[in-house]
Structure 1
Amino acid sequence: MKLARAEHVFIVSFDGGKPGVMQQSNMPTLQGLLKEGAGTWAARTVFPSITLVSHTSMLTGVQPAKHKIDWNDWKPEKGVVGVPTVFAVATKAKKTTALFAGKEKFAHLYQPKTLNAFAVPEYSAKTVAQTAATYLQENRPNLCFVHFADSDGAGHSKGWGSPEQIEAFGNEDKALKVLLEAIRKAGIQSRSAIILTADHGGHEKTHGTASDEDMLIPWIAWGAGIRRGATLTLPISTCDTAATALELLGIPIPADWDGKPVYEALA
């Protein structure tokens, strides 16, 4: 086992998190973590830039050609992803894991015996955050993923960059604050690292193309094992998120992963 930089890693994904729109939104909690941590607004997701495909790459460390999730809805007949998730790797290393999401399709990432907790309480980021906060205060998982869906829903219904989407990002920032407060109350803040990112951007009322509007995403890290006040300049892929989480926890990264730890962000 490698030396761990953190005992707890939290990955938070803002669905449809287009950097230009997030920067226009009222997100003081996220901006505070960016100022104190390491980050960039120019990381890239995978193609096609759609929710389930992108999140699968984020949480398996491999490109779509390897994980073979090429659909974007909850299709129970297709079963779960066929390559190990970051939760499977962490579980094998005797770490505890949890996943809280706003969309049912995340069940495609729920491999048997790899998650100590899995919940899709409802679409609302407020409810997802409250559910996750209650769990993490009581159980203090080593690896936890939290998904906020509101911003994507607002983008599809009202448009990327619309007042409604900007409001949704603001509400998700409040949900992020709930998570941070739970981490503090659990007494693990000094031993925790947080990665804030997204699955894709968007344009008009859609996404999925190879354009920068759809492909660019934020990637922000804060906390234990993370550099302070660092602007990241090297290329970052969403596949690197899972690898960075394992590196922070001191767990070896699978050799066949496409993602690599974002060493530029690490202290």
Structure 2
Amino acid sequence: MKILFLFLAMVCSMPSFAAKWKAKHVVLIGLDGWGAYSVEKAEIPTIHNFMKSGSYTLKKRSVLPSSSAVNWASMFMGAGPELHGYTEWGSKTPELPSREISHYGIFPSIWGLFRDANPTAEVGFIYQWDGLAYLVEKEAINELVHATGKDVPSGQADEAVAMRAVSYIKEKKPAFVGIFFDEPDHVGHQKGHDTPEYYQKLKELDAYIAKIAEAVKEAGMWDDTIFILTADHGGIDKKHGGKTMQEMETAFIISGKGIKKNYCFEESMMQFDVASTIAYIFRLEQPQVWIGRPMKQVFK
């Protein structure tokens, strides 16, 4: 009995890597091609509820060009293309020499930074566009899932992303998970941005986000989770990559534990500030090569 008491005392005194975090879980949800211009027009009640229960800006700017790989890289890597070197829509390797290379072999991102500080934490990355796999430290992620739609009856890849995310959250209760839809970008290219088809796709994605939120509740994580919803770029007509605000401005919505409610912040935010804000939540020290700034004003 004495040995048992000593064991319990030792376990209770063990420091938890989560004790210092602002929340025990972060759920990062990205929608490719989701322009900020659409937020107030769209029928997206789940996203609107996250805005009411949290903080947001509709003026987060992409880096240039306003295309996918360069902006996802900037979002993850806390710096712009001048430093990380990914400069094009479909960059798989840096076109410019990365200013710094981590022990993972690429420019340091939030995924590797988190893993190095928390070797036993559960980390997930569930994505639709295969280009994202080249922008993260795969060895730093427990659950790396490329959802293609083959494992759902509808055959729709965005549904597959949502369903894999739901099951993963319920089963593993990850400390940090990224969930990335390759929509509404496809619809924007095929039918056009700011069209009825574009808004219908946003409505569908909102329903998937509702399922992800419900999974967080069912997993018992809700009270200790911070959600972040954002995008790589917007679009105009059937394209993106240019220098219009429709292409460059995207939403950043953050909601959950310790976040101010119904707060629209006015401070400038750039794509690379997303990584810095996540690092701030997890109390991670930024690499010197990062230039991002955490959005500290959103925290209570």
Q: TM-score range by the shorter chain?
A: over 0.9
List per-residue Cα deviations over 1:95-133 (Å, max 9, x = no partner).
332111110111102424211111111263221011011
SS at match of 1:23: coil
| Match in the other structure for 1:241 | 274
Mapping of residues 145-156 of structure 1, within 5 Å: 145-156=178-189
Query: What is the letter of the counterpart of residue 57 of structure 2?
Result: T
Which whole-Å CA distance do the structure 1 matches of 2:84 and 2:122 have between them? 23
List per-residue Cα deviations over 1:57-107 (Å, max 9, x = no partner).
0011110111111233375899x9720111100001113321111101111
| Match in the other structure for 1:161 | 194
Distance 1:150 1:207, change over 3 A: same
| Match in the other structure for 2:22 | 5
List per-residue Cα deviations over 1:155-181 (Å, max 9, x = no partner).
000000111111111111011111101
| Match in the other structure for 1:87 | 111
Query: What is the letter of the counterpart of residue 145 of structure 2?
Result: A
Query: What is the letter of the counterpart of residue 261 of structure 1?
Result: P
SS at match of 2:139: coil
Which whole-Å CA distance do the structure 1 matches of 2:90 and 2:61 have between them? 22
- Between stretches 89-98 and 1-10, larger displacement belongs to 1-10
Distance 1:256 1:126, change over 3 A: same
Contact 2:65 2:88 in 1 (8 A): no
| Match in the other structure for 2:37 | 20
Contact 1:208 1:214 in 2 (8 A): yes
| Match in the other structure for 2:14 | none
CA RMSD of aligned residues (A): 1.9
From 76, 80, 83, give the equivalent of 1:63.
Answer: 80
SS at match of 2:39: helix
- Between stretches 134-143 and 151-160, larger displacement belongs to 134-143
How many angstroms does 1:214 deviate by?
A: 0.8
| Match in the other structure for 1:48 | 65
| Match in the other structure for 1:216 | 249
- Between stretches 31-40 and 114-123, larger displacement belongs to 114-123
Which whole-Å CA distance do the structure 1 matches of 2:124 and 2:192 have between them? 31
Query: What is the letter of the counterpart of residue 41 of structure 1?
Result: L
How many angstroms does 1:201 deviate by?
A: 0.8
Query: What is the letter of the counterpart of residue 169 of structure 1?
Result: L
Contact 1:72 1:105 in 2 (8 A): no
Structure 1: where are the runs of 5+ without partners?
Answer: none
| Match in the other structure for 1:33 | 50
Query: What is the letter of the counterpart of residue 228 of structure 1?
Result: K
SS at match of 2:236: coil
| Match in the other structure for 2:168 | 135
The number of aligned residues is 266
Q: Rg bigger for which structure?
A: 2
| Match in the other structure for 2:127 | 101
Q: Percent identity?
A: 26
Distance 1:14 1:117, change over 3 A: same
Query: What is the letter of the counterpart of residue 260 of structure 2?
Result: R
| Match in the other structure for 1:262 | 295
Which whole-Å CA distance do the structure 2 matches of 1:152 and 1:128 have between them? 15
Q: TM-score, normalising length from structure 2? A: 0.84
SS at match of 1:193: strand
Contact 2:69 2:91 in 1 (8 A): no
Contact 2:86 2:93 in 1 (8 A): no
| Match in the other structure for 2:10 | none
Contact 2:72 2:135 in 1 (8 A): no
